[in-house]
Amino acid sequence: MSLSLGIKMNANHIISKVRYKILQLIAVNLISIKNFTNSHFLADHFGVHNEGIRINRDLIVRWAKPYDPYVKLNTNGFVNATKAGMSGIIKNSQGNPIAAFSGPLPSCSVLTSELMGLYQGLQVCLRMGLQNVNIEVDSTLVIHIISNNDVCFPQDFYTIKKIRMTLSLLNVTISHIYREGNACADWLANFGAYSDNFLKHPMFDLLRTL
């Protein structure tokens, strides 16, 4: 016996709503990537940053030069129990760094730190007159938020809005890179968290340090 109530089920709509709710719960730390242990394909599908999930497969991870006239902007955020920071590094088509920055942040979520790093990096590009930018971040959640206008995180609403406004002024691409390939930005974000002020790093000192 079947009972029809005239309600149409849209599978894609339901999946989209589930993905949205999962990303919201992760953003406020009600669930974490640990909940996806042994389910990394599901985590990938929902756009969950799954670096903490053990995956038994070989990965080739490397940073690749952008093609001229593009530059590449790598950004990151860092948060631990007492410190937070953000950073970014810009390299030209020869793979040489042309700008780098880092700085501390007030206590915040990992998502907030990563969004702040991206926003500051885009502002540096604008000030330097760099119009063609390949953006790489190691957070799939950041990419999902920037690429989908239906995702809203109230605590980061204005930062997201400013990022989207800045993106509209540039010719950009945005893609995911594993943390191993984002090592420079990762190191700088950690450094920024323990700094007193926002810093623009001289290229000579940066090359010597990294």
Q: What is the pLDDT of residues 115-171, one digit of tens each?
A: 999 999 999 999 999 999 999 999 888 988 888 765 678 889 999 999 999 999 999
- Which two three-digit tokens encode residue 129? 């007159």
DSSP conformation class of 150: T
Q: How far apart are CA 166 and CA 123, in angstroms?
A: 8
């339901």: which residue's tokens? 14
Which pLDDT score, from 0 to 100, does residue 59 have? 46
Say which residue, 133 or 58, is predicted with more confidence: 133
Q: What is the mean pLDDT of residues 9-18?
A: 63
Least confident of 49-63, 123-137, 175-189: 49-63
- Residue 47, burial from CB neighbour count under 10 angstroms (0-12, 13-18, 19+): buried
Residues 6+ apart with CB under 8 A from 178: 51, 59, 61, 138
Q: What share of the chain is helix, strand, coil (3-state, %, to 5)?
A: 40, 20, 40
Domain boundaries, the chain: 11-45, 71-209
Which pLDDT score, from 0 to 100, does residue 63 have? 85
Class of domain 71-209: alpha beta
Asked if the model's pLDDT at residue 104 lies above 90, the reply is yes
Give the confidence band of 103 by pLDDT, cuts at 50, 70, 90: very high
- In this structure, are residues 83 and 193 in contact, taking their beta carbons and an 8 Å threshold? yes
Backbone angles phi, psi at 126, to 5 degrees: -60, -45
- Which two three-digit tokens encode residue 7? 């309600």
DSSP conformation class of 194: T
- In this structure, are residues 181 and 63 in contact, taking their beta carbons and an 8 Å threshold? yes
Q: pTM to 2 decimals? A: 0.70
- In this structure, are residues 111 and 78 in contact, taking their beta carbons and an 8 Å threshold? no
